[in-house]
Amino acid sequence: MSDIIKLLPEHVASQIAAGEVIQRPSSIVKELIDNAIDAGSTEIKLYIKDAGKSLVQIVDNGTGMSAGDARLCWERHATSKISQTEDIFKINTMGFRGEALASIASVAQIELKTRRETDELGTYILIEGSEVKKQESIAANRGTGISVKNLFYNIPARRNFLKSNPVEWKHIVEEFTRGALSNPLTSFMLWHNDEVQFDFKKGDFCHRVLEVFSDRKSQDLLEVDEQTTIINVTGFIGKPEIAKRIRGEQFFFVNRRFIKDAYLNHAVQNAFEGMLSKEQFPFYILNIEIDASKIDINIHPTKTEVKFEDERNVYQIIRAVVRKALGDYVQTPVNPDFDDNRFMNLLLTDTPKGINLSENSHEGTVGSSAESLGNFKEIYQQQRKQSALNWEALYNPERGMKQEEKVKTLLLSNDGEQENRTFFQLNNQFIVTPIKSGLMLINQQTGHERILYERYLHALVQTPIASQQLLFPKAVNLPPGDEAILLEILPEMGALGFTINSFGKNTFVINGLPAELHLENEQDLVAAIIETYKATKFTESNKNKVVAKTLAKKAAIKSGTKLRNEEMNRLVDELFACSEPQFAPDGKACIKTLSLAEIAKMF
């Protein structure tokens, strides 16, 4: 019997490796920006077409490459960053593995132009599917330009997994933003389909932060600047009042490398304890400088994970630094003055004694949230009679009876009057009512989510919801990259009763809201819909469902909201008029029953 194990062809091995390193166009953007930074560039220009599916091109003014290096850099495990094992444990560059360019070349068509300062002529190379098709000497500016065309042209299955252009564009902007934030002394420009989208001038870190987050103001931020024997921490945190209900504006950079670290994120979140609710997330951009030998970045191909040698102390320092900045603000509000470059002089201490970081109260009232149940009187009257026959039948143990007989058995009170139903609210969270077989408990939040979800889905598919024009329109500022996504889903938002118009770069104006909707923060809702859109693989059918589900979750009455008896009555009737009253759109239960037998066992 012949041997069955064989070496894979080089191009196949490269494509397999590319599956880990190159997942989407933004992966290419990250790797090319990292290389430009390692080359000492002070100007980086990025050109994108069709959200990176057709073209990702980067042009820098770095050191450039010789003709030999320009050819060799596309080979697997070819790198200028390390030469021996010990080098892996003291990495100070963005790249080091020698995998990225080889992976890119295996799944795209490549053009490279490069020239060093000392060379009269530069080098041009054309690559397709890891194979060099052409190499020649050309006139070129100092630096390197790389064009990556037709990503996954030779792997159609991978290309089919790419998401819509707005979503892919959003990911590109995120990578571009991270590179710009970690390198303020380098200018960054970004074009999309031949239009300039971002132009960040070289300058100090604080001005770069305000350039990237144009909706933020200097008075919204608190500076962090700490030197310790373990790490140095610089950057900014947002004041508690600018916290949002979605993640996104949270950045850790370790030796200028963006990382994702849930443990350190918890340190920051913990430092805000007592100032934010569990549903709020603070703004922060923190730069950590540490001896390269004290960390390990060789964990994941994307190099976004770092292992600290002394992780526990790093956590404590981050937490203490953030708490100190917050403590100074609580005592004497201090705003970093970016124009005069006057910074706070912080000490590495815990929150000062005597500072009362009282917890915000989030207990609901009967106000706007409860009113969002709506005044659909005609629908309510039509549904009430039918829902009275449906709402407890789901839990009837006697399966053989007709529906009407089931409902009678469960619903009729001792005096036989079905209309005299009794509801009471438990902990401003659950609606409780006696039924013939025991007790029924309804989660008011998930139940209302189900009601609103089916209402919004109906509006998207059939009858649009009426819009109520606002007396004072509200401006919504979006993070970089979100504008294209919102533009794509504006038709769905319009069917739900939103009147939203573009008002300049990354800014929209809400002129109208659904007539029955009452929100405290419209920007949080828009941001939540966009985040859900980005995280989901969309088709035309499930796009409606995702928008409806996100809006229902945001607009539903919350746990802690006190309801009047008529509001509980209406919620129950509308819930059992739904097609699937048992569960919320996300699968959480809306209804539970406690039988008389279960109650008896308690005694």
In 3-state terms the chain splits into helix, strand, coil percentages (rounded to 5) of: 40, 25, 40
No. of H helices and E strands in the chain?
18, 22
Alpha-carbon dihedral 62, 67, 69, 73, rounded to 10 degrees: 90
Predicted confidence band of residue 235 (pLDDT cuts 50, 70, 90): very high
Asked, colleague to colleague, whether 10-203 and 213-331 share their fold, the answer is: no
Of 134, 116, 365, residue with least CA distance to 124: 134
Question: 363-603: CATH homologous superfamily?
Answer: MutL, C-terminal domain, regulatory subdomain (3.30.1370.100)
- How confident is the prediction for the chain on average, in pLDDT? 81
Tens of pLDDT, residue by residue over 534-587, are 666 555 566 778 778 888 888 889 889 999 988 999 999 999 899 889 899 888
The two structure tokens encoding residue 154:
């030779």
Predicted confidence band of residue 372 (pLDDT cuts 50, 70, 90): very low
All residues at 6 or more sequence positions from 435 whose CB lies less than 8 Å from its CB, including other chains: 392, 395, 410, 411, 593
All residues at 6 or more sequence positions from 378 whose CB lies less than 8 Å from its CB, including other chains: none
Report whether pLDDT(377) > 80: no
All residues at 6 or more sequence positions from 499 whose CB lies less than 8 Å from its CB, including other chains: 467, 469, 510, 511, 512, 513
Q: Where are the domains of the chain?
A: 10-203, 213-331, 363-603
Of 311, 355, 348, 358, residue with least CA distance to 330: 355
Q: Give the pairing of strands 143-149 and 109-115.
A: antiparallel
Q: How far apart are CA 207 and CA 189, in angstroms?
A: 16
- Check residue 313 and give its pLDDT: 94
Residue 499 pairs in a beta bridge with 512
Crossing angle for the helix pair 262-271 and 311-331, to the nearest 10 degrees: 30
Are residues 543 and 491 in contact, defined by beta-carbon separation less than 8 angstroms? no
- Check residue 184 and give its pLDDT: 96
Residue 432 pairs in a beta bridge with 424, 441
Q: Give the pairing of strands 187-192 and 43-49.
A: parallel
Q: What is the CATH number of domain 213-331?
A: 3.30.230.10
Sheet holding 430-435, edge to edge: 424-426, 430-435, 438-443, 591-595
The two structure tokens encoding residue 248:
């996104």
Report whether pLDDT(128) > 50: yes
Highest mean pLDDT out of 75-79, 366-370, 449-453: 449-453
Q: pTM for the complete prediction? A: 0.67
Tens of pLDDT, residue by residue over 37-89, are 999 999 999 999 999 999 999 999 999 999 999 999 998 888 877 767 777 77
CATH architecture of 10-203: 2-Layer Sandwich (3.30)
